[in-house]
């Protein structure tokens, strides 16, 4: 680690999500703020803060479930308001005092439920 780089030396590289509605799921990821890296019919890749990539994988059939990842945002209430105005129907904001977070959930087009948490980074560079 370089002296001036105080960030941890590791981060999540890739997370995956299967979809049977590639075009709609890809558009959803763009709508919520992910940066498109590649948008194909079988695989789409989106970049998040920290360089993490979400890889959408096309499958003919999936079983909707809780997404195998969650997302964190700077301003949970503003994000909730924005998603509501976009018609994404987020769940009500809930307090999770056991982990010092608030959260809400949104269902993406293939049916997976994604949880959005309030930020709680350490205040050090990440």
Beta bridge partners of 18: 57
Terminal alpha carbon distance of the chain = 13
What is the per-residue pLDDT across 6-15, written as a single tens digit (0 to 9) for each?
Answer: 878 888 999 9
What is the per-residue pLDDT across 23-33, written as a single tens digit (0 to 9) for each?
Answer: 999 999 999 99
Beta bridge partners of 102: 95
Domain that holds residue 41: 14-118
Assigned domain for 3 exists: no
CATH code at 30? 3.10.180.10
Assigned domain for 123 exists: no
Q: Domain count for the chain, please give it.
A: 1
Helix, strand, or coil (residue 106): strand
């Amino acid at each position: 680690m370089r002296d001036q780089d105080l960030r941890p030396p590791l981060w999540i590289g890739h997370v995956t999500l299967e979809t049977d509605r590639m075009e709609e799921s890809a558009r959803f990821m763009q709508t919520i703020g992910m940066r498109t890296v590649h948008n194909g019919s079988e695989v789409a890749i989106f970049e998040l803060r920290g360089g993490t990539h979400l890889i959408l994988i096309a499958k003919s059939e999936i079983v909707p479930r809780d997404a195998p990842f969650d997302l964190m945002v700077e301003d949970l209430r503003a994000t909730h308001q924005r998603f509501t105005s976009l018609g994404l129907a987020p769940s009500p904001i809930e307090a999770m005092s056991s982990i010092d977070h608030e959260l809400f959930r949104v269902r993406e087009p293939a049916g997976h439920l994604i949880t959005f948490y309030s930020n709680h980074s350490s205040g050090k560079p990440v």
